[in-house]
């Protein structure tokens, strides 16, 4: 097998790094020049900048005509596999659902794009109303009492939770220095509390993938400030003892923060409030259909109980019941202050609001139910494929995603999950393994969401099946992939891990290399 006969080839323009496209003197765009009326009156304004503060030589930026700039970036766009172009079930935990283009119209309009954050409140009633209403919706979906949209992503929301936990116990005068999380929670559930000075305790799962109540009992104490837990966890398994967990932590005087970055399987099905949580957050760029933008901007909508509301970042968006006017409320007695500029990623808020309004309460439930149906259907298809298994929760259904293992295939063929990942690119798909550490051997995490049809799920499963067959028939071919992607297999990791070899900008590359990666050392 050459590996090329997949029926797909990604765009491959051999597009050079932008600096190779420079042509001295060309211009991409002209800037409005200052009127003579100003120049004549003001004279040489630039010369008034003290010498030490003036730029001495022009920045080494490319010089390109406008058409070539557009062409360059369109080619790079074509060499990027956006969700819209593929059956994007391969980026598990990321909820790569459909991002309706209509919602872009509500963001790109000057009615939103050209708003300054410090305009008089009277001139921004529309956007304030949208934020206010989304807050009300989020309260319903979670059962919590107040939301802030200031955090710029899920990890930022976890950081905000940890900041509030610290402020809460300082206010109470209690010294608690530990935050407990689980191994299948998002890495930031461990990293962000550590940043806030907490000792982080990680509870492992048992052999069936469940975190046992007894394991939690062993680590929860008077030192526990909070439990931060993802549920359903990265494995797609819902922790059935979650309420007992929160009861246990509350009995010890701690708070409970629910990582619902990915709530796609449980909208309208089960809520943070009933599970006993004091805080929770949703990622608007996952569950609520705001596009991921190559890695942000996203939004981590953080909600809390009444008791914690006064600790939220300021401002909140409130409504004056008398006048009906919306306003920025800075009056929070215990507020942690700010975690991000202004009010958060407003475009994501607007898209999430529009998305909910396109579905309604019943539509949200349908989203969750179909996401879970799709996932269990794909699980059923996957388990028929040679070499793959779905460890944990034996005999049970999963919610929105599954962490599979290719351990058997690796044992049989020597092909590892990262080989499969590259090979999937040859079929025009994505494939993501697992957060680290890899508790599940040779992992892959698939999350179909509600957005794909049965036919599309069949297609993705057939790609997996075909690659499995390739691995058994011709493992070396799979290991040498990709063949139909924009670029061939990359060299070893030393170019990324060795300080002498890495180059994070083109100027660093030119300093370290000439031609095509010929080291300059010794020059």
Restricting to residues 103-142, which ones interact with another protein according to CB under 8 A? Answer: 104-120, 122-127, 129-130, 136-137, 140-141
Q: Rounded to an integer, what distance in angstroms lies between the CA atom of residue 415 and that of residue 411?
A: 8
Q: Rounded to an integer, what distance in angstroms lies between the CA atom of residue 337 and that of residue 253?
A: 25
Nearer to another protein, 411 or 488 (CB): 488
397 touching another protein, by CB under 8 A: yes
507 touching another protein, by CB under 8 A: yes
Q: Rounded to an integer, what distance in angstroms lies between the CA atom of residue 176 and that of residue 223?
A: 4
* Footprint of another protein on 150-189 (CB under 8 A): 152-156, 158-159, 163, 166, 187-188
For residue 138, the minimal CB distance to another protein (Å) is: 10
Given 171, 204, 208, 508, the residue binding another protein (CB under 8 A): 508
Q: How many amino acids of this chain bind another protein (CB under 8 A)?
A: 219
Q: Name the token pair of 461.
A: 């499963």
One character per residue 435-474, x = contact with another protein (rule: CB under 8 A): xx-------------xxxxx--------------------
Nearer to another protein, 357 or 412 (CB): 357
Given 366, 389, 466, 474, the residue binding another protein (CB under 8 A): 366
Nearer to another protein, 59 or 251 (CB): 59
- Contact (CB, 8 A) for 167 and 336: yes
Nearer to another protein, 98 or 472 (CB): 98
Q: Rounded to an integer, what distance in angstroms lies between the CA atom of residue 107 and that of residue 101?
A: 10
For residue 307, the minimal CB distance to another protein (Å) is: 21
One character per residue 182-221, x = contact with another protein (rule: CB under 8 A): -----xx-xxxxxxxx--x-x-------------------
Q: Rounded to an integer, what distance in angstroms lies between the CA atom of residue 203 and that of residue 310?
A: 30
C-alpha distances in angstroms, 6 versus 385, 422, 467?
Answer: 18, 13, 10
**DSSP single-letter state for residue 282:** E
One character per residue 316-345, x = contact with another protein (rule: CB under 8 A): --------------------xxxxxxxxxx
393 touching another protein, by CB under 8 A: yes
Nearer to another protein, 84 or 411 (CB): 84
**DSSP string covering 203-218, please?**
EPP-TTSPPPHHHHHH
For residue 206, the minimal CB distance to another protein (Å) is: 15
The residue with tokens 């962000």 is 192
For residue 228, the minimal CB distance to another protein (Å) is: 11
Given 361, 386, 414, 476, the residue binding another protein (CB under 8 A): 361
Nearer to another protein, 322 or 437 (CB): 437
Nearer to another protein, 276 or 412 (CB): 276
Q: Strands 443-446, 402-405: parallel, antiparallel or unpaired by DSSP?
A: antiparallel
Q: Name the token pair of 241.
A: 């003892």
Q: CB 268: neighbour CB atoms within 10 A? A: 17
Q: Cα dihedral sign for 133, 139, 145, 146?
A: negative
Q: Rounded to an integer, what distance in angstroms lies between the CA atom of residue 405 and that of residue 388?
A: 6
Q: Rounded to an integer, what distance in angstroms lies between the CA atom of residue 326 and that of residue 499?
A: 53
Nearer to another protein, 139 or 389 (CB): 139
- Of 140, 173, 142, 176, which Cα lies nearest the Cα of 157? 142
* Footprint of another protein on 48-87 (CB under 8 A): 48-50, 52-56, 58-64, 66, 69-70, 72-86
Q: Cα dihedral sign for 29, 32, 36, 39?
A: negative
Nearer to another protein, 201 or 220 (CB): 201
DSSP three-state, residue 409 = helix
């Amino acid at each position: 097998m050459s590996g090329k006969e997949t029926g797909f080839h990604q765009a491959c323009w051999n597009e050079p790094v932008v600096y190779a496209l420079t042509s001295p003197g060309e211009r991409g765009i002209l800037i409005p020049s200052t009127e003579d009326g100003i120049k004549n009156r003001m004279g040489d304004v630039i010369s008034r900048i003290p010498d030490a503060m003036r730029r001495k030589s022009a920045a080494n930026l490319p010089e390109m005509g406008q058409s070539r700039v557009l062409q360059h970036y369109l080619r790079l766009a074509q060499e990027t596999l956006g969700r819209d172009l593929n059956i994007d079930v391969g980026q598990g935990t990321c909820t790569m659902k459909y991002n309706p283009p209509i919602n872009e119209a509500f963001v790109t309009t000057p009615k939103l794009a050209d708003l300054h954050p410090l305009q008089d409140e009277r001139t921004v009633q529309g956007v304030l109303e949208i934020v206010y209403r989304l807050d009300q919706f989020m309260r319903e979906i979670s059962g919590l009492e107040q939301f802030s949209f200031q955090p710029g992503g899920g990890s930022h929301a976890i950081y905000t939770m940890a900041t509030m936990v610290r402020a809460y116990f300082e206010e109470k005068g209690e010294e608690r220095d530990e935050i407990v999380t689980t191994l299948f929670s998002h890495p930031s559930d461990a990293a962000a509390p550590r940043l806030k000075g907490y000792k982080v305790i990680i509870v492992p799962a048992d052999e069936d993938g469940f975190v046992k109540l007894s394991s939690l009992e062993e680590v929860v104490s008077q030192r526990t400030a909070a439990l931060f837990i993802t549920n359903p966890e990265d494995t797609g398994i819902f922790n059935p003892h979650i309420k007992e967990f929160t009861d246990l932590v509350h009995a010890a005087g701690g708070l409970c923060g629910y990582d619902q970055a990915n709530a796609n399987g449980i909208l309208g099905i089960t809520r943070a409030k009933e599970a006993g949580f004091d805080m929770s957050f949703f990622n608007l760029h996952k569950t609520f259909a705001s596009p991921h933008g190559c890695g942000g901007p996203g939004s981590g909508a953080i909600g809390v109980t009444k008791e914690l509301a006064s600790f939220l970042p300021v401002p909140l968006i409130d409504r004056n019941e008398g006048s009906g006017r919306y306003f920025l409320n800075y009056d929070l007695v215990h507020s942690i202050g700010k975690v991000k500029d202004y009010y958060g990623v407003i475009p994501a808020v607007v898209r999430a609001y529009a998305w909910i309004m396109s579905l309604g309460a019943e539509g949200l439930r349908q989203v969750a139910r179909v996401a879970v149906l799709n996932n269990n259907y794909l699980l059923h298809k996957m388990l028929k494929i040679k070499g793959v298994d779905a460890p944990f929760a034996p005999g049970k259904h999963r919610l929105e995603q599954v962490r599979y293992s290719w351990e058997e295939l690796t044992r049989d063929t020597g092909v590892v999950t990262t080989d499969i990942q590259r090979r999937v690119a040859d079929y025009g798909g994505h494939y993501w393994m697992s957060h680290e550490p890899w508790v599940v051997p040779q992992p892959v995490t698939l999350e179909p969401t509600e957005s794909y049809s049965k036919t599309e799920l069949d297609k993705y499963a057939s790609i997996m099946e075909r690659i499995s067959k390739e691995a058994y028939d011709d493992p070396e071919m799979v290991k040498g992939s990709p063949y139909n992607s924009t670029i061939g297999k990359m060299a070893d990791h030393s170019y990324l891990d060795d300080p002498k070899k890495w180059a994070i900008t083109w100027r660093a590359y030119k300093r370290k290399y000439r031609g095509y990666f010929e080291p300059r050392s010794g020059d």
